[in-house]
Chain A
C-alpha cells in the first residue's frame, strides 16, 4: 500500500496570507490527524478527522481549520498567517481508533515571511 502523502512539501508565504495543505491517507484509513512540529515544541496536536467529522481538536486558534472528504483525504487551512506559524505540518492516518498504529506523512514545511 502507498504511504501517507502530503502536498505541497514546501511552501513560502507572507504574513496575512492564507494557506491550504493536503493529506492523502493510506488506503482504507478513515482517521486523519494533523500536527504542528517546531523545534523545542515537539508534535503539537491540531485536530483529527474521522469519517468527514472533526473528532478531536487541539489548543490552536480558529485561524487553523480543516476538513475531510468522503475519500478520507484531508485538508488543513491556516488563515491570516503569522510568522509563528512557520513549522513542519505533519498529517497522520490510522484505521480508526487511537490504539492503532498511526502512520505519518512526510510533512509540509511552511515558511512565513
Chain B
C-alpha cells in the first residue's frame, strides 16, 4: 500500500547531541523525499529534500541520506539546539504518473537544554 513508516515517534536528546529519524517507503519507483518541520502551533515547512539520484544531501547541521536498495531514508541533525524541538515529517512520492506525496506519522523531537 501507499505508506511511509517513520521511527521513532518521539525522540529526546540533550542539547549538542545528534538526532536521527528514519523512514521506510514501499514503492521502489519513489524518487523524491522531502522532510518537513512543524513547530508547535505552526504550519509544516520544508527543511531539506533529496532525489533518488543522490545518496546524501547536507545543509548546515541537517543532512538526509537515502538507501534506494533498502528503501529507507534518514534525517540527521547534528549539534542540536532547543529551537530544533518540533515534529518532523518525512514524505515520499507515490504513484508514478499520479505523483502523490505521502507523509510519515511524524517524530516529536525534544532537545533538552
Contacts and interface: CB of A to CB of B under 8 A. Distances in A.
A106 B51 CA distance: 27
A43 B89 contact: yes
Contacts, number: 53
Interface string B79-103: 0000000000101010100111111
A33 B93 CA distance: 14
A101 interface: yes
A55 B89 CA distance: 23
Main secondary structure of the interface of A (DSSP, over half): loop
Contact of A40 (B32, B100, B105): B105
10 contacts: A4-B43, A40-B105, A45-B102, A56-B100, A90-B43, A99-B51, A101-B34, A101-B49, A102-B46, A102-B101
Interface of B: 2, 6, 32, 34, 36, 42-46, 49, 51, 89, 91, 93, 95, 98-106
A105 interface: yes
Q: Pick from A43, A45, A56 the residue with the most CB of B within 10 Å.
A: A43
Interface string A57-79: 01100000000000000000000
Main secondary structure of the interface of B (DSSP, over half): strand
Q: How large is the interface on A (under 10, 10 to 19, 20 to 34, 35 or more residues)?
A: 20 to 34
A99 B32 contact: yes
B46 to A, nearest CB: 5
Given A33-B101, A45-B102, A107 B89 contact: no
Interface in A23-61: 33, 35, 40-45, 48, 55-56, 58-59
B44 A42 contact: no
B100 A42 contact: no
Contacts of B43: 4, 90, 104-107
A55 B98 contact: yes
